[in-house]
A and B are shown apart, each in its own frame.
Chain A
Amino acid sequence: MKKYTDTGKKDTRSGFGVGLLKAGQANPNVVALTADLKGSLKMDAFAAEFPERFIQCGIAEANMVGAAAGLAITGKIPFIGSFAEFVTGRVYDQIRQEVAYGCTNVKIASSHAGITLGEDGATHQTMEDIALMRALPGMVVLNPCDFNQTVQATLAAAKYNGPVYLRFGRPSVPNFTPEDEEFVIGKAIVMNPGTDVTLIATGHTVWESLLAAEALEAEGISAEVLDIATIKPLDEKAILDSLRKTGCAVVAEEHNHAGGLGEAVAGVLAAQLPRPLVFVNGEDKFGQSGTPAALMAAYGLDAAHIAEAAKKAIARK
């Protein structure tokens, strides 16, 4: 089992803040917009260094999306930031027309995604955002797994010419990927090679899957862990290569079943390589108030549930 060291718990949204500042330093066209969530999105450093390029929109997300599209038309590279629900569900039609159909180079910075938003409860915990963004033609969907990867994903998003949905989270979580590993859009990362089962994970569930792989190893089960940091376009080859070897898989995500990574993987396997597949996700439910860790356990998204699911998948081979 490949060893990963948590170099100190950090929130992925802080990774975005660092990435945004670096992207801003590298390219004067990068601008940042927020709907009254500068602090929550960790945009303070960017705003302090580039006050003219930081655009406060107030609590008016729909206008923020349109204004960002307009800025993109003039050649700017706008990052719009808010909580995941408010930059997806609340403004789906604006993103569809102004950004996706309108072919504007807008980056949607989506923080506090998933159930780990925690105590604020279900109004703020979107478990549907990946489904919405995946559905849009041409939208790139990124969901990095830790602080370091989020820094790099932000830089990659800034360099990429086209709409990007960049999803990250609120809580402090282990930081374990290499600090300066270039983020390649569309590439899955084999976090741990294995032979008995593939654990396909994205975002916060990558670390949980590594913990699950460790627990499985202690029971003599060899689990391959794939980090799907790009959900769209999906690295089908990496998934098929792994499944040809292991013969079964678990897909773990902090998102509901409908339209999530699990369904995307199921589509690939059903069409090209039918194999036993077990889903670990929020199913068809809303969240509730609680600490991030308690919610991950209660909704069955933690390492223990992933390891359990792996055994089910193996049993169905």
Chain B
Amino acid sequence: MQTKDQLKAISTQVRRDILRMVCMAKSGHPGGSMSSTDILVSLYFNHMNQSPATWRRDAKGQDAFILSAGHLTPVYYSTLARAGYFPVSELATFRQMGTRLQGHPSVRKQLPGVFQASGSLGQGLSAAAGIALGKKLDKENNFVFCLCGDGESEEGQIWEAGMFAVHHKLDNLIAFTDWNGQQIDGPVASVAGEGDLAAKWEAWGWRVIVADGHDFESIDQAFNLAKAGLGSGQPTMILFKSDMGHGVDFMAGTHKWHGSVPKPEQLEDALNQLGTTPLGDF
């Protein structure tokens, strides 16, 4: 278990990694990566029954994680590397020819920690539900976690998976939404008017928890509450309120950083704002 201060330091380092990775690759998705950083760091360092030493794609006897919002590879890869799944130096290869760190998650390069390909949106929750059902068939009590985007939740398949998970009583499925309110073309409310996600998931029959995606205590409580749902016969959706680009003032709260790369002087400014950590850059 990591303390709150340790989690903070890891998150700061992950945000530094995210920015440096996308700047080195001259492409990638920093905004949503920075809004989901605290959640993913908390999950991997304090809540998942998962470790680099025992990782296997079939997740036998351990928890699994699916990144449904596949473009969030910067935060995913950095978190995996910082958790020890592969060398942090490999983060420098992000999106380069021959890399295991493909633009969107791939199982073809056998990067430890990656259970399934994703990137075409709306599909990961179905895969997560399938893994959860497989664990039920195997009489396993491990959890399957799945990160969805709020923009991604405009995809109809998300709601198909939502229905399926309730019907098959997948209480070992814990989905969470990075509810940052932004997508490529603008604020979610102006693009598709998704409305009240909490009411929608409740109506679908899920246990719904709303939490602050940048407060480690709130994140901690949310995951604990979600895990307590095992035995309830219901899947859980945590809606984490978050800010796109969190941690850097000129990136925060706007869709403009969904898939944009900071200029060199912006990178310097951003890294100064984040500050350094004892973990060190890759």
A27 within 8 A of B: no
- Asked if B157 CB lies within 8 Å of chain A CBs, one says yes
Q: Does A97 lie at the interface of the complex (its beta carbon under 8 Å from any beta carbon of B)?
A: yes
Q: Size of chain B's interface in residues, with CB distance under 8 A?
A: 40
Determine if A101 and B130 form an interchain contact, defined as CB atoms under 8 angstroms apart. Answer: no
Taking a contact as CB atoms under 8 Å apart, the answer to whether B130 and A71 are in contact is yes
A104 partner residues in chain B, CB cutoff 8 A:
116
Whether B129 pairs with A66 at a CB distance below 8 angstroms is yes
Chain A proximity of B276: nearest CB distance (Å): 38
Given the known interface contacts A73-B59, A74-B58, the answer about A66 and B125 at a Cβ–Cβ threshold of 8 Å is yes
Known contacts A66-B157, A101-B108, A31 near B137 by CB under 8 Å: yes
Task: Contact check, A71 vs B126: say whether CB atoms are below 8 A apart.
Answer: no
Interface residues of A in 81-107 (CB under 8 A from B): 93-94, 96-98, 101-104
A93 near B58: Cβ-Cβ < 8 Å: no
| B contact set with A: CB distance below 8 Å | 57-60, 64, 66, 106-108, 115-120, 122-135, 137-138, 144, 156-157, 160-161, 163-164, 167-168
**For the complex, is A62 an interface residue (Cβ under 8 Å from B)?**
yes
Contact B137 A53 (CB under 8 A): yes
Q: A74 to B134, Cβ gap below 8 A?
A: yes
When the two chains form the complex, which single residue of A53, A75, A98, A101 contacts B106, counting CB atoms closer than 8 Å?
A: A101
> A103 to B168, Cβ gap below 8 A?
no
Give A contacts to B, CB under 8 Å: 31, 52-53, 55, 57-58, 60, 62-76, 78, 93-94, 96-98, 101-104
**Residues of B with C-beta under 8 A to A64:** 126
Are B107 and A76 within 8 A (Cβ)?
A: no
Question: Which residues of the other chain, B, contact A73 by a CB distance below 8 angstroms?
Answer: 57-59, 64, 115-116, 127, 130-131, 134
The majority secondary structure among interface residues of chain A is helix
Say yes or no: A71 contacts B131, CB within 8 Å: yes
Q: Which residues from chain A contact B60 at a C-beta distance below 8 Å? A: 74-75
Q: Is the CB of B128 within 8 A of A63?
A: no
Q: Quick one: closest A residue to B126, CB to CB?
A: A66
Which of B60, B115, B127, B137 has the largest number of chain A CB atoms within 10 A? B127
The answer to whether A66 touches B106, judged by C-beta atoms less than 8 angstroms apart, is no
CA distance A94 to B121 in the complex (A): 10
Q: A60-B163, A71-B130, A74-B131 are in contact. Are A98 and B123 (CB under 8 A)?
A: yes
Of chain A, the residue at the smallest CB distance from B119 is A97
User: Which residues of B lie under 8 Å from residue A71 when comparing CB positions?
Assistant: 130-131, 133-134, 137
Instruction: Tell which of A64, A65, A102 has the most Cβ of chain B within 10 Å.
Output: A102
